[in-house]
Amino acid sequence: MTLFVTRHGETTLNQQRKFYGALDVPIDEQGRQQASQLAAKLRGQPLDVIIRSDTRRTQQTAQPIIEDHPNTEVLVNPGLNEKGFGDWEGLDADEIEAKDPVTWHDWIANPFDVTPNGAESFADFSNRVLTTVATLMPMFNQTANMLLVAHLGTLRVMHQAWVPGTVFWNLDFKAGHYSTYQIQGGKGLLQALNR
């Protein structure tokens, strides 16, 4: 089975370099162009299932692909949502540092172990994503081709679990592109990144 994965299109908060994992924001004009580019790349590709997170930005990114694949089953799974950042949502680095300097500096030094107030811990986020992927694995194994539309953090967690030695922060899933994995033995074997 081939799993196609993609990140949602760009949002205004991406451009502003804001933390916004849990905010349900739409894609912007650039994001709509990226969604159209992605749909064009996948137009001739048979897809049996399209699964996305429970956010507007993944819905809007997936919509042109869904329109090109009208008979494809579409599923929504909130377990694929991005990590929430609590009190830091909607703020950029300078705003966070001004508002919460101690936690900010601790997080910069140790981002996987320090959790902002009201945020989901990285351990909980990673466990949520990997548990969700594990529950989807039977579907992966029974499906010829599936597209997953999610978020940078979500895709990084999946990839890191499947490709040991990957540095979390160095991994980039570009909007408007897709990556492919061959599902074998309960994990994904990377075939291509950012096509």
Instruction: Give the pairing type, strands 179-184 and 73-76.
Output: unpaired
Look at residue 181 and give its three-state secondary structure: strand
- pLDDT (tens digit, 9 = 90+) per residue, 34-90? 999 999 999 999 999 999 999 999 999 999 999 999 999 999 999 999 999 999 999
Asked if the model's pLDDT at residue 151 lies above 90, the reply is: yes
* Residue 142 banded pLDDT, cuts 50, 70, 90: confident
Asked if the model's pLDDT at residue 186 lies above 90, the reply is: no
Identify the pLDDT of residue 29: 98
Given a contact cutoff of 8 angstroms between Cβ atoms, the answer to whether 139 and 146 are in contact is yes
- pLDDT (tens digit, 9 = 90+) per residue, 101-119? 999 999 999 999 999 999 9
H/E segment holding residue 147: strand 145-150
Alpha-carbon gap, residue 161 to 131, rounded angstroms: 12
